[in-house]
């Protein structure tokens, strides 16, 4: 089959994560490039990109339920919050205000995911009865109730406005949050967090990729496309919807726990509707029902503020300042809103769709018309 990478003679090959060797090679090259990048990157960029990696995990989770299984969830912030606080309570240090067990990351990271996944599975049976916009409302309600619970349960969350220290990044005694040396090389705190985020993203990304090409993933897609038809075909709706909720919440929990460990502080006000909307936007802008798209969307929206800042330096008319109509951060919000609208109208497949079009253009080049 050399030279005809798109001709598949086995189902396994068709459903592979990397259908062609070209993709495999480019993936490894890209991965190496991303992995060695922090040797030269400035420190603040490393943290920013690490945040994008971890946000990608959360977006993959939301994409699993909303993009693949077709169940609209506006409640992602709630599950991110559960993950963040479960992680902080297990991995953080105890003070006179908040509880903390100071456990290793090997335990608290999966445990944060499981805690969120469990809550997702408990809520799912109610959600299973609802369809479409009614489900969106249910999850919207969760965010507001969650915000209230986080505010009130101050022995874990530290209370509103004060917050608490997040979990510690220590793996079997190794501290990611301190500068150290690996094999004679000095590594900074930022570099380690970058690599930690990358490793978690790769692991979780491949897990999700495998899930969506399995029997479960096909069941999700069938439910998304027409749930009653799926039921007629013998797919147990309740079982798969509960599974979708649980897995999606698991991803959110892991992302939430790591995200707030990296950014440094957990405040109860963070887990609001706006955070949910951010994640929905990342799914929409990246591309629904695509793992690669989830990563693109998360990276794009996480780096957007910095890009607008940079654009303001180059193009002075963008730097409207405080005396202008909008400040830079407000301009960024408006662009964010307009991007959601524009992508939905003009490119429903998101950044991933744009990438596919570019790829197909070059595939047929020079006959690409």
Partner 1 sequence: MTTFLQATVAGLSLASIYMLLALGFVIIYKSMQVLSFAHPAIMLFAAYMVSWFSVDKDLNFWLALALGVVAAGAMGWLAERIAVRPMIGKPLFAIAILTIGLDIAIRTPINNLIGINIRSVGDPWGFGTWQIGGVVVQHRAVAMIVTAFIVGSLLFAFFRYSRVGLAMRATAIDQEVALAQGISVGRIFSLAWIMAGAMAALAGTFASSDLSGLSQSTYIVALKALPAIVVGGLDSIGGAVVGALIIGLAEAYTATYQSQHLSFLGGNFSQVVPYLVLLIVLLIKPYGLFGTEEVERV
Q: Tell the smallest beta-carbon distance from residue 120 to partner 1 (Å).
A: 15
Check residue 72 for interaction with partner 1 (CB under 8 A).
yes
Query: Degrees (nearest 5) of the Cα angle 230, 235, 241?
Result: 90
Interface pick for partner 1 out of 17, 114, 121, 273 (rule CB under 8 A)? 273
- Do the beta carbons of residue 84 and residue 266 sit within 8 Å? yes
Binding residues for partner 1, rule CB under 8 A, total 46
Per CB under 8 A, the segment of 114-122, 163-171, 249-257, 329-337 that binds partner 1 is 329-337
- By CB under 8 A, residue 148 contacts partner 1: yes
The answer to whether 355 contacts partner 1 (rule: CB under 8 A) is no
25 binds partner 1 (CB under 8 A): no
Of the candidates 99, 210, 214, 327, which one interacts with partner 1 according to CB under 8 A? Answer: 327
Q: Is residue 339 a contact residue for partner 1 (CB under 8 A)?
A: yes
User: What does the block give as tokens for 90?
Assistant: 């297990």
Q: Which residues, at least 6 apart from 144, have a Cβ–Cβ distance to it below 8 Å?
A: 273
Q: What are the C-alpha distances in Å from 86 to residues 78, 180, 203, 261? A: 12, 28, 21, 12
Q: What is the DSSP letter of 268?
A: G
Among 155, 214, 330, 360, binds partner 1 (CB under 8 A): 330
Q: How far is the CB of 129 from partner 1 (least distance, A)?
A: 5
Positive or negative torsion for Cα 216, 221, 222, 228: positive
Nearest to 338, CA basis, from 270, 276, 285: 285
Q: Which is nearer to partner 1, 277 or 292 (CB)?
A: 277
C-beta separation of 189 from 177 below 8 A = yes
265 binding partner 1? (CB under 8 A): no
CB atoms within 10 A of CB 339: 16
Cα–Cα distance for residue pair 57/279, rounded to 1 Å: 11
Convert residues 113-142 into a mask of x (bound to partner 1 by CB under 8 A) and - (unbound): -------------x--xxxxxx-xxx-xxx
Exactly one of 17, 318, 340, 349 binds partner 1 (CB under 8 A); which one? 340
Nearer to partner 1 by Cβ, of 144 and 174: the residue is 144
Closest of 240, 188, 183 to residue 216, by C-alpha: 240
Q: How far apart are the first and last CA of the chain?
A: 27
Please choose, out of 198-206, 253-261, 279-287, 290-298, the segment that lies near partner 1 by the rule CB under 8 A.
279-287
226 lines the binding site for partner 1 (CB under 8 A): yes
Q: Which two tokens stand for residue 215?
A: 């029997």
Q: Report the distance separating Cα 57 and Cα 87, nearest Å.
A: 16
Among 42, 264, 321, 348, binds partner 1 (CB under 8 A): 348
* Residues at the contact surface with partner 1, assessed by CB under 8 A: 66, 70, 72, 126, 129-134, 136-138, 140-142, 144-145, 147-148, 151-152, 226, 228-229, 232, 273, 277, 280-281, 284, 325-327, 330, 333-334, 336-341, 344-345, 348
């Amino acid at each position: 089959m050399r030279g005809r990478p798109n001709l598949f003679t086995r189902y396994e090959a068709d459903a592979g994560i990397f259908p062609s060797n070209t993709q495999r090679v480019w993936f490894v090259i890209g991965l190496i490039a991303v992995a060695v990048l922090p040797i030269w990157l400035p420190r603040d960029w490393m943290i920013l990109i690490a945040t994008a990696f971890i946000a990608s995990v959360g977006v993959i989770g939301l994409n699993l339920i909303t993009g693949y299984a077709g169940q609209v969830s506006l409640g992602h912030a709630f599950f991110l919050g559960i993950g963040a606080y479960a992680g902080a309570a297990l991995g953080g240090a105890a003070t006179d205000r908040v509880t903390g067990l100071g456990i290793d990351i090997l335990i608290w990271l999966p445990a944060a995911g499981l805690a969120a996944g469990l809550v997702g599975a408990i809520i799912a049976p109610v959600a299973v009865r609802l369809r479409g916009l009614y489900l969106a409302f249910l999850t919207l309600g969760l965010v507001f109730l969650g915000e209230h619970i986080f505010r009130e349960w101050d022995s874990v969350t530290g209370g509103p406005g004060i917050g608490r220290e997040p979990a510690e990044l220590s793996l079997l005694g190794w501290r990611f949050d301190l500068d150290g040396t690996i094999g004679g090389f000095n590594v900074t705190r930022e570099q380690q967090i970058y690599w930690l985020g990358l490793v978690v993203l790769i692991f979780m990304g491949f897990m999700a990729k495998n899930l969506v090409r399995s029997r479960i993933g096909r069941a999700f897609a069938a439910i998304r496309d027409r749930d009653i038809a799926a039921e007629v075909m013998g797919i147990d709706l309740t079982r798969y919807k509960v599974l979708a909720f649980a897995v999606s919440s698991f991803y959110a929990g892991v992302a939430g726990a790591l995200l707030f460990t990296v950014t440094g502080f957990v405040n109860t006000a963070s887990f609001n509707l706006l955070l949910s909307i951010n994640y929905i936007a990342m799914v929409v802008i990246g591309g629904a029902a695509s793992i690669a798209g989830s990563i693109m969307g998360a990276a794009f929206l996480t780096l957007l503020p910095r890009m607008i800042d940079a654009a303001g330096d180059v193009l002075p008319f963008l730097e409207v300042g405080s005396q202008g109509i909008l400040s830079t951060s407000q301009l960024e919000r408006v662009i964010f809103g307009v991007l959601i609208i524009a992508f939905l109208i003009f490119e429903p497949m998101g950044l991933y769709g744009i990438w596919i079009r570019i790829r197909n253009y070059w595939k047929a080049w020079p006959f690409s018309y």
